[in-house]
Structure 1
Amino acid sequence: MSRAVVFDTFGGPEVLEVREVPEPHAGPGEVRVRVAAAGLNPMDWILASRPEAAEQFGITVPSGFGYDFAGTVDEVGDDTTGFAVGDRVHGGALGRAVADFVVVSTAAVPPALFRTPDGISDQVASTLPVAGLTAAAALSVIGVGSGDTVLIGGAAGGVGVLAVQLARLAGARVIGTASESTFAFLRQLGAEPVAYGDGLAGRVRALAPDGVTAATDLFGTETAETALALGVPPERISTIAAGPNPPGGVRATGGTDAEPDALKRISDAILTGDITVPIAATFPIERTREAVALQAGRHVHGKVVITL
């Protein structure tokens, strides 16, 4: 038997339970990973609390919990190539990540499993699949590069902290929306913070009188609508949480739109010190409810990680 976080009904953190479950094993074309850490994302608690969202991803109850994980391959199925017992890996397993073991196909398209480089901890690696790919996609679809002034909405969140740093690495000036309590934190990452809420357009104009050239909204639609009002062309504005039909014809995107080498580029930048991954808090699996409550509050600076 092994441990896994599961839920039988949709609801808040209180529906999540740590249970003994049968130990899974790798079949043909699969590997089993002994999970060391699982990074939380907003989508995790949304899928556990909103049946309509879960349905879109094919999740029914009872279900496991979480997506991002990192650990070590400890079992390789028949006809499996590319990975061996002992390999350190990170990746995604929808509705199954917060568990002692996850079984992952090595033939998934897009890939669901990536090697973890020496020098990157399992905790850091477990934060990268969703946040890293999403941040990379949000910037690449709007072509952020040198000379841009980019407005990033939700800059202090798990995706935002990576988007800020990726944009800076690309040579852009970054203005990031956040609560005032995170301003010092964002300045450390190279962003110029601005408070979200009523009057955002005016505050951005004051910071960037020559204008904003691109924007990505990582929280809802306020930043996208502000960018449109500031005259940013819709094709240079992206959203990740506004649904398939965002306002004004701006570009809806997500991790599946990231370039194939996006995670490797992020990992390389972490190893060289050009990107840091702020981990706001870690919790053992027995305290998953507390971890989810903290993450769902949307006020953490960086990522929340569950350790196993």
Structure 2
Amino acid sequence: MTTPPTADAPQRMHAIVQDRAGGPEVLTLTEVERPVPGPVEVLVKVHAAAVNPTDWKTRARGRFAIGTTPPFTVGHDVSGVVEAVGPGVTRFKPGDEVYGMPRFPQPASAYAEYLTAPPRHLARKPAGLDHIHAAAIPLAGLTAWQALVDTADVRPGQRVLIHAAAGGVGHLAVQIAKSRGAYVIGTAGAAKHDLLRELGADELIDYRTQDFAEAVRDVDVVLDAIGGEYTTRSFATLRRGGILVSLPSSATYPTAEAEAAGVRAGFMLVEPDHTALEALTALVEAGKLRVLVDAVFPLADAAKAHELGETGRTTGKIVLSVLPG
């Protein structure tokens, strides 16, 4: 006979935990103590958590960018329901459906049944969107929004080149740029061109058969999600005074080359922002933003989700289903 827990006993939950650096096999489903919301925090019952490249890179190196080391739980994107609120919270109440990218780049521990988050790192889930698709938006959507809107200030009539246009960030960036009235050019394999046209791309370059640096000219904004030689080769596509926003970080960013080409260039890192999340929500609810989900795995199969993600062959996002709904 099992003895029932006392009222003050810690409550438990399931989470994906890794205790060392390594491949997907280090991700294990473990029973751990459920977090308790502190002052100005909410406790979220997680329904879905998206998988992002930063997750498998963190897993492989065994530490977060800020230095946190194992054991830990990866994952930043989340959609769920507020279970409880800590002292001082006024934005949400228990029962509210929310989504977001809390604490980035610090650990959010989203591959779990519950997490705590600052309320201003979350927004109300878009009406009519299920948790699976809502969880796929925050990190990629905020990255695209902060690059194109906050950094590049894309305006109607401008020409925008988006590399890896069918990727997690790219397919949302295509739609965000189009919603701003831009002429959108994307690089992607030919098999994905019809889909990208449906999402609003005006012109597409098959990177396997065409050299984008020769095919594209007079661009106002480049969103570079690839890095390396793509960055320097993209300078030739920009008009003088144009801007390139790079997502992959580099210790040797080609600032001198950008200056010589008469363009602006820089690296940006996404950050939690409930105002931008609410702007993305408005686009979703207006039918101007659609998130693509390539595959859904149960929480226990997080390792399989990472294996798929690391192939680089997905279109859109991979999501872990934690609770139904």
TM normalised by structure 2 equals 0.84
Structure 2 residue 190 is matched with structure 1 residue 143: no
SS at match of 1:47: helix
1:290 Cα deviation from its structure 2 partner: 1.2
The sequence identity of aligned pairs, in percent, is 35
- Who wins on radius of gyration, i.e. which is larger? 2
Deviation string, structure 1 residues 57-97 (Cα, Å, up to 9, x no partner) = 23211111111111001112233322111011112242500
1:4 Cα deviation from its structure 2 partner: 0.3
Question: CA 1:184 to 1:169, structure 2 compared with 1: closer, same or farther past 3 Å?
Answer: same
Q: Report the counterpart of residue 197 of structure 2 in structure 1.
A: 187
How far apart in 2 are the matches of 1:14 and 1:232? 47
How far apart in 2 are the matches of 1:16 and 1:57? 20
Q: What residue ranges of structure 1 are gaps of 5+ in the alignment?
A: none
Of 106, 111, 136, the residue aligned with 1:127 is 136
TM normalised by structure 1 equals 0.89
Of 179, 184, 188, the residue aligned with 1:178 is 188
Question: CA 1:270 to 1:8, structure 2 compared with 1: closer, same or farther past 3 Å?
Answer: same
Q: Report the counterpart of residue 283 of structure 1 in structure 2.
A: 297
Q: Which amino acid aligns with 1:227?
A: S
1:269 Cα deviation from its structure 2 partner: 1.2
Q: Which amino acid aligns with 2:54?
A: M
Q: Report the counterpart of residue 292 of structure 1 in structure 2.
A: 306
Structure 2 residue 264 is matched with structure 1 residue 254: no
Please tell me whether the aligned partners of residues 297 and 321 of structure 2 are also in contact (alpha carbons under 8 angstroms): yes
Aligned residues: 297
1:300 Cα deviation from its structure 2 partner: 0.9
SS at match of 1:44: helix
Structure 2 residue 40 is matched with structure 1 residue 29: yes
SS at match of 2:312: coil
1:212 Cα deviation from its structure 2 partner: 2.1
SS at match of 1:255: coil
1:243 Cα deviation from its structure 2 partner: 2.9
Q: Report the counterpart of residue 165 of structure 2 in structure 1.
A: 155
Q: Report the counterpart of residue 65 of structure 2 in structure 1.
A: 56
Of 219, 229, 246, the residue aligned with 1:239 is 246
Question: CA 1:97 to 1:170, structure 2 compared with 1: closer, same or farther past 3 Å?
Answer: same
SS at match of 2:49: strand
Please tell me whether the aligned partners of residues 39 and 69 of structure 1 are also in contact (alpha carbons under 8 angstroms): yes
Please tell me whether the aligned partners of residues 59 and 95 of structure 1 are also in contact (alpha carbons under 8 angstroms): no
Question: CA 1:105 to 1:149, structure 2 compared with 1: closer, same or farther past 3 Å?
Answer: closer
Q: Which amino acid aligns with 1:101?
A: Y
SS at match of 1:242: coil
Q: Which amino acid aligns with 1:100?
A: E
Q: Which amino acid aligns with 2:298?
A: P
Question: CA 1:22 to 1:228, structure 2 compared with 1: closer, same or farther past 3 Å?
Answer: same
- Range with greater deviation from structure 2 (178-187 or 278-287): 178-187
Question: CA 1:214 to 1:29, structure 2 compared with 1: closer, same or farther past 3 Å?
Answer: closer
Q: Report the counterpart of residue 97 of structure 2 in structure 1.
A: 88
Structure 2 residue 31 is matched with structure 1 residue 7: no
1:234 Cα deviation from its structure 2 partner: 6.7
Question: CA 1:55 to 1:259, structure 2 compared with 1: closer, same or farther past 3 Å?
Answer: closer
Question: CA 1:25 to 1:231, structure 2 compared with 1: closer, same or farther past 3 Å?
Answer: closer
Deviation string, structure 1 residues 271-305 (Cα, Å, up to 9, x no partner) = 11111111111111111111111122222111111
Q: Which amino acid aligns with 1:265?
A: A
Question: CA 1:122 to 1:244, structure 2 compared with 1: closer, same or farther past 3 Å?
Answer: farther
SS at match of 2:290: coil
Question: CA 1:50 to 1:99, structure 2 compared with 1: closer, same or farther past 3 Å?
Answer: same
Please tell me whether the aligned partners of residues 34 and 72 of structure 1 are also in contact (alpha carbons under 8 angstroms): yes
Please tell me whether the aligned partners of residues 13 and 289 of structure 1 are also in contact (alpha carbons under 8 angstroms): yes
How far apart in 2 are the matches of 1:236 and 1:274? 25
Please tell me whether the aligned partners of residues 8 and 61 of structure 1 are also in contact (alpha carbons under 8 angstroms): yes
How far apart in 2 are the matches of 1:114 and 1:197? 39
How far apart in 2 are the matches of 1:244 and 1:264? 33
Dislocated runs of 4+, deviation >6 Å? none
Deviation string, structure 1 residues 121-179 (Cα, Å, up to 9, x no partner) = 21122122211110011112122221112111111111111100011111111111122
Deviation string, structure 1 residues 99-123 (Cα, Å, up to 9, x no partner) = 00001233xxxx3222213222211
SS at match of 2:318: strand
Q: Report the counterpart of residue 222 of structure 2 in structure 1.
A: 215
SS at match of 2:250: coil
